[in-house]
Amino acid sequence: MTLTDQQREEIRAAANTVRQDSVRMTNAATCGHPGGPMGMADFMSTLFLAHLNLDADNRHDPERDRFILGNGHTCAGLYSLLAQKGLFSRESLLEFRKFGSPLQGHPHRNLDLGIDMSTGSLGNGLSVGVGMALAAKQNGWGTRVYVASSDGESQEGQIWEAATAAAHYGLANLTVMVDFNNIQIDGVMREVMDVLDLREKYAAFGWHAVDVDGHDVDAIDAALCSAKEETTRPSAIICHTTIGKGVSFMEDKAAWHGVAPNDEQAREALAELGA
Amino acid sequence: MLQTMARELAPLHQGDPIKAATREAYGKALLELGEEMPDLCVLDADLSGSTKTKAFGQAYPERFFNCGVAEANMMGIAAGLASMGKTVFASSFAMFATGKAWEQVRQSIAVPEFNVKVAATHAGLTVGEDGKSHQMLEDITLMRVIPGMRVLVPADAVEARLAVRAAAEADGPFYVRLSRASTPVVFGEDYKFEIGKGAVVRDGHDIAIVACGIEVGMALAAAEELAQGGIEARVIAMASVKPIDADLITEAAQDCGCVMTAEEHQVMGGLGSAVAEVLATRAPVPMAFCGMNNEFGQSGDAWDLVSHYGLDGPGLAASARKLIESKKS
Ligand SMILES: Cc1ncc(C[n+]2csc(CCOP(=O)(O)OP(=O)(O)O)c2C)c(N)n1
Ligand SMILES: [Mg+2]
């Protein structure tokens, strides 16, 4: 199934809102991680709007889909999408990272808000996804489990333990979407610790693995559709993205991994994003 | 000279009191040690800007290894380097250095008694907004229980620099716990740090408060408040959580008749437990334990969190008054 024109427009609009929210939320918090969610906005919006079966009405349905943000530092984007899907109010986004807010600096499991898993320590998410997918399979549910991960997170050994297990158990209901922006905190992947070709790695681990342009919503949608066709293998979608996408002075800069824009930068960024 | 260094470290905190983060002192100490010790290697796991190992990496690129986001692997590499005669500092955030890689630290570093110093920053609540996934409140316990592992939790930038040096110069494994936040400088330039020794930073005879890390400054603030109500508290900075200064603690218990501990850490297994282990056999007195009580932290401003969990000056003073009351009854 391909995206209709209307779906495509809705996904692009949602992605733009994710980018604006990432700027607004980190600016209001005066800390946090804006760059990652801006780069992930297109594939996350495609997943949340066109594929992930999670909304305000089914949040407590045990058979609904699950989502784990393995690279938990990018949660501004997750919170934006959950708010856009009506799981909580958009006003609460500006309480991000503040004392007493359920929108913690890294996700904390809260099923009322649609947050399926606590994350923030890199490397842990995919294994939990394997467990969820195993249970869904055992129960005979149609539940699909989606895990977001990143190139930096792929340096953790546990990712590859999870990858081994997922293929071994034949978890066709499990899909990982990897944010490959070539950036980690200390700089460019190649210089810090090269992870090489992640599609080849996942394929060698027995996965159905594809590379996509992480800003091409049709290509992302097609990859998510192809994952659903798999019957015996888990799927890895390596999304090639640009950190800070959409704001000229933030794009492709490791510095925007974990620094909030100040008021002036936020104004400029929001202007570029058409806010 | 130490005060000068503290001042240098704190360009953003001019005025009184001088403030600096212990992680800044760590970065500076590594630079000094790098020059003196040609066999010193430093490892990091994609956090070199935050842990402050970056400056060492720039000064000595051939002796600096950024291992990427792979802490367990980093500890194994540290062990291998040490087995070949290197002195190794391995850094990350406290959560990941001691949590993610605990078993590698135990098996590959502590069991063979290798010369590896796990120096971790961003310990405790004062990580602030990052929340519970990053607020390491169990690391003192985790490291303290490993046989042969020594645990140092410096109170300020001056003590941190000396503690890092002491760890570098002593043979065998160490854990050095460092903070992200800037804190007041407690120690003067004549301070001499010694492994296994605590320091009385304020004298008193009504209650002894044994603290480590940022809680030393908080305990001093509490003592100030208590003094206004006529209570004289002895404040002991116990950076050397292991080996602990059993004599100093025993003497304090005998002089003051009650002992309170304060740490930015779970009560179970941390500094408080270490102090209680000493006093239970040598000088049992009423005790109170200030720290986290079987709960995780949460997102928020670092110092708001310290207050929320009763670990600021007023919070410690209130706990101290309660303990003194119970001593009377
Ligand atoms: C186990 C663990 N180690 C270290 C960190 C600190 N950390 C947070 S994000 C990050 C870089 C990860 O790279 P990536 O996810 O690719 O970052 P991005 O592209 O979003 O900048 C690191 C080292 C962590 N959260 N968890
Ligand atoms: Mg990245």
Structural domains in chain A?
A: 5-272 (3.40.50.970)
Q: Which atom of ligand 1 is nearest to the CA of A183?
A: 19
H runs (alpha helix) in chain A:
5-29, 35-50, 75-84, 125-139, 157-168, 189-192, 198-204, 217-229, 263-272
- Residues with CB under 6 Å of ligand 1 are A 35-36, 71, 73-74, 120-123, 150-153, 181, 183-185, 243, 257; B 46-47, 69, 96, 100
Q: Which atom of ligand 1 is nearest to the CA of A120?
A: 25
Q: How far is CA B310 from CA A154, A221, B22, B35, B317, in A?
A: 39, 50, 22, 42, 9
Taking CB atoms and an 8 Å cutoff, what residues of chain A touch B95? 121
Catalytic residues of B: 71
Taking CB atoms and an 8 Å cutoff, what residues of chain A touch B55? none
Neighbours of B90 (CB within 10 A): 31
A155/B305 touch (CB, cutoff 8 Å), yes or no? no
Q: Which atom of ligand 1 is nearest to the CA of A121?
A: 26
Closest among B290, B323, B313 to B206, alpha carbons compared: B323
Cis amide prior to B284 (ω within 30 degrees): no
- What is the count of residue pairs from A and B with beta carbons less than 8 Å apart? 93
In the prediction, which pLDDT does A1 show? 74
In the prediction, which pLDDT does B16 show? 56
CA distance A80 to A17: 8
Enter the ipTM.
Answer: 0.96
CA distance A122 to B150: 28
Please give the residue of chain B at the shortest CA–CA distance from A75: B130
B70/A192 touch (CB, cutoff 8 Å), yes or no? no
Q: How far is CA B39 from CA B113, B168, B311, in A?
A: 17, 11, 40
Tokens 């706990």 map to which residue?
Answer: B319
Q: Hey, what are A13's tokens? A: 């609009």
Rounded to the nearest angstrom, the gap between the alpha carbon of residue B220 and the centroid of all alpha carbons in its chain is 16
What parts of chain A have a pLDDT lower than 70? none
A108/B47 touch (CB, cutoff 8 Å), yes or no? no
B68/A29 touch (CB, cutoff 8 Å), yes or no? no
Taking CB atoms and an 8 Å cutoff, what residues of chain A touch B73? 157
Please give the residue of chain A at the shortest CA–CA distance from B131: A105
User: pLDDT tens digits for A22-41?
Assistant: 999 999 999 999 999 999 99
Substitution target in B130, B298, B306, B308 with the highest count of A β-carbons within 10 Å is B130
In the prediction, which pLDDT does B327 show? 82
Nearest CA of chain B to the CA of A209: how many Å? 23
Q: Is B83 on the interface with A (CB under 8 A)?
A: no
In the prediction, which pLDDT does B6 show? 46
Helix/strand/coil for B51? helix
For chain B, which domains are there? 19-184 (3.40.50.970), 199-328 (3.40.50.920)
Half-sphere CA count of B241, side-chain side, radius 13 A: 31
DSSP B94-144: HIIIIIITHHHIIIIIITTT--EEEEEESBSGGGGGG-TTT-B-SHHHHHH
SS3 content of chain A, % helix, strand, coil (to 5): 45, 15, 40
pTM: 0.96
Tokens 């895990």 map to which residue?
Answer: A147
Q: Is B95 on the interface with A (CB under 8 A)?
A: yes
A29/B131 touch (CB, cutoff 8 Å), yes or no? no
**Tens of pLDDT along chain B (329 residues)?**
444 444 444 443 344 568 999 999 999 999 999 999 999 999 999 999 999 999 999 999 999 999 999 999 999 999 999 999 999 999 999 999 999 999 999 999 999 999 999 999 999 999 999 999 999 999 999 999 999 999 999 999 999 999 999 999 999 999 999 999 999 999 998 999 999 999 999 999 999 999 999 999 999 999 999 999 999 999 999 999 999 999 999 999 999 999 999 999 999 999 999 999 999 999 999 999 999 999 999 999 999 999 999 999 999 999 999 999 998 77
CB B259 within 8 A of CB B285: yes
Closest among A176, A203, A212 to A71, alpha carbons compared: A176
Which of the listed residues A40, A127, A150 should we mutate to test ligand 1's pocket, taking the one with most ligand atoms within 8 A of CB?
A150
CA distance B109 to B93: 18
